[in-house]
């Protein structure tokens, strides 16, 4: 279309939280529309790619880094977090201890990765397995608004990977925040995996010398 600028982005997004909270299940639901009751712990890190036609002119590729819950006790997270531009922090609504660990994950994140201006990368809190507490109303989570403000989350969602609740909405909210940061810092820092051919190519006059 004449005059219409189109853009493509590749955003690295982390999915972190305690063991067994449903990180892999959320990603599988979001990317492949699948769910399994079977638990197989992630070892190290797994990857998934979700392509989103954000609007007529914008294509977003989300590179999802599914980080094993047990990594909080290791020291690999600095390596995994590098160049991430957004994160989901997940807890399991049926296990209070996983909520208590949310702050530890958020602090780990904020200490190891930053926006180009030094601020924290946008993070969305996911209260997962909400299908298991249908009888309770979401008023139980009213304290999460305040918690998010205090802890620097851009928002929170009750989710269920099993019943496919709110996962698309949560992703949309995170992408909105990432895109608005991108507009503020349109430098290459916000896109991962871009090869700068202008910098990578050798100077035109240099000649290969063989002997
Ligand atoms: P680690 O890789 O060990 O860090 O765990 P994880 O966070 O990736 O958890 P995973 O997705 O493997 O899920 C753990 C267990 O919870 C599995 O048995 C899933 O079937 C179950 N599970 C995940 N999400 C949901 C959900 O929304 N509702 C219900 N009822 N069960 C879920
Ligand atoms: Mg996993």
* Nearest atom in ligand 1 to 38's CA: 18
Q: In the chain, which stretches have pLDDT less than 50?
A: 1-3, 189-190, 193-211
How far is the centre of ligand 1, averaged over its atoms, from the C-alpha of 108 (Å)?
22
Distance between CA atoms of 82 and 204, rounded to whole angstroms? Answer: 33
* Average pLDDT of the chain, as a whole number: 87
From 161, 164, 165, mutation site for ligand 1 pocket: most ligand atoms within 8 A of C-beta:
161
Q: What angle do CA 200, 78, 119 make, to 5 degrees?
A: 85
Under 8 Å between Cβ of 50 and 11: no
Distance between CA atoms of 60 and 64, rounded to whole angstroms? Answer: 12
* 82-137 pLDDT tens trace: 999 999 999 999 999 999 999 999 999 999 999 988 999 999 999 999 999 865 55
How far is the centre of ligand 1, averaged over its atoms, from the C-alpha of 12 (Å)?
22
Distance between CA atoms of 46 and 43, rounded to whole angstroms? Answer: 8
Distance between CA atoms of 192 and 175, rounded to whole angstroms? Answer: 15
Which parts of the chain fold into alpha helices (H)?
Answer: 23-32, 77-81, 96-100, 102-112, 143-151, 167-184, 197-200
How far is the centre of ligand 1, averaged over its atoms, from the C-alpha of 57 (Å)?
35
Distance between CA atoms of 60 and 179, rounded to whole angstroms? Answer: 9
Under 8 Å between Cβ of 178 and 192: no
Q: Is 28 in the pocket of ligand 1 (CB under 6 A)?
A: no
pTM of the model: 0.87
């Amino acid at each position: 279309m004449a005059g219409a600028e189109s853009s493509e982005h590749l955003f690295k997004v982390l999915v972190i939280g305690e063991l067994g909270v449903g990180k892999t299940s959320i990603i599988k639901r979001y990317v492949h529309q699948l769910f399994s009751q079977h638990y197989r712990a992630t070892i190290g890190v797994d990857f998934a790619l979700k392509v989103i036609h954000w609007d007529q002119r914008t294509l977003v590729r989300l590179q999802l880094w599914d980080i094993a819950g047990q990594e909080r006790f290791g020291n690999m997270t600095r390596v995994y977090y590098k160049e991430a531009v957004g994160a989901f922090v997940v807890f399991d609504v049926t296990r209070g201890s996983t909520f208590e660990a949310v702050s530890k994950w958020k602090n780990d994140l904020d200490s190891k990765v930053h926006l180009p201006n030094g601020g924290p990368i946008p993070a969305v809190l996911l209260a997962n397995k909400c299908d298991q507490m249908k009888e309770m109303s979401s008023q139980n989570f009213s304290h999460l608004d305040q918690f998010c403000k205090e802890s620097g989350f851009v928002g929170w969602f009750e989710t269920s990977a099993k019943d496919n609740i709110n996962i698309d909405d949560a992703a949309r909210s995170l992408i909105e925040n990432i895109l608005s940061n991108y507009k503020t810092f349109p430098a290459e820092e916000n896109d991962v995996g871009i090869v700068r051919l202008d910098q990578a190519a050798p100077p035109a006059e240099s000649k290969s010398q063989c002997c």
